[in-house]
Amino acid sequence: MPLDEPAWWYRPEPGGAAAWLAPLASIYGWAATTRYARAKPYRSRLPVICAGNFTAGGTGKTPLVLHLCERLLAAGQHPVALTRGYGGRHGGPHWVGSGDTADDVGDEALLIARAVPTLIARDRGAGARAAEAMPGRASVLVMDDGLQNPTLAKDLAIVVVDGTRGLGNGLVMPAGPLRAPLAFQLGLAGAIVVNGPSGDGNGVADWLRPRFNGPVLRSCTEAAGNTAWLRGRRVIAWAGIASPQRFFSLLQALGAQLAECITFRDHQSLTEADAERLLGLGQRLGAPLVSTEKDLVRLKGATGKRVELAAATQTLPIRLHFAEAEAERLAALIENALKGRSGP
Which strands sit side by side in the sheet containing 234-239, from one edge to the other? 257-263, 234-239, 289-291, 313-315
CA distance 323 to 78: 25
Domains and CATH numbers, the chain: 45-222+321-340 (3.40.50.300), 228-316 (3.40.50)
| Per-residue pLDDT, 107 | 94
Q: What is the pLDDT of residue 344?
A: 44
| Predicted pLDDT of residue 341 | 67
pLDDT for position 343: 47
Cα–Cα–Cα angle for 282, 4, 60, rounded to 5 degrees: 80
pLDDT average per 10 residues of sequence, the chain (344 residues): 70 83 96 94 97 89 95 96 93 94 95 97 96 89 95 97 92 96 97 81 89 96 91 97 89 96 93 97 97 95 95 94 95 94 54
- At residue 1, the pLDDT reads 39
CA distances 331 to 62, 68, 69, 160, 338, Å, are 18, 9, 12, 16, 11
Tell me how crowded residue 287 is: count the other CB atoms within 10 A of its CB: 19
- Summarised one tens digit per residue, pLDDT across range 89-132 is 999 899 999 999 999 999 999 999 999 999 999 999 999 999 99
- The pLDDT of residue 198 is 61
| pLDDT computed for residue 260 by the predictor | 97
Q: Enumerate the H helices of 15-113 as residue ranges.
A: 16-38, 61-74, 102-105, 107-113
Q: What pLDDT is attached to residue 199?
A: 57
**What was the pLDDT predicted at 262?**
97
Give CA–CA dist 287/256, Å, rounded: 11
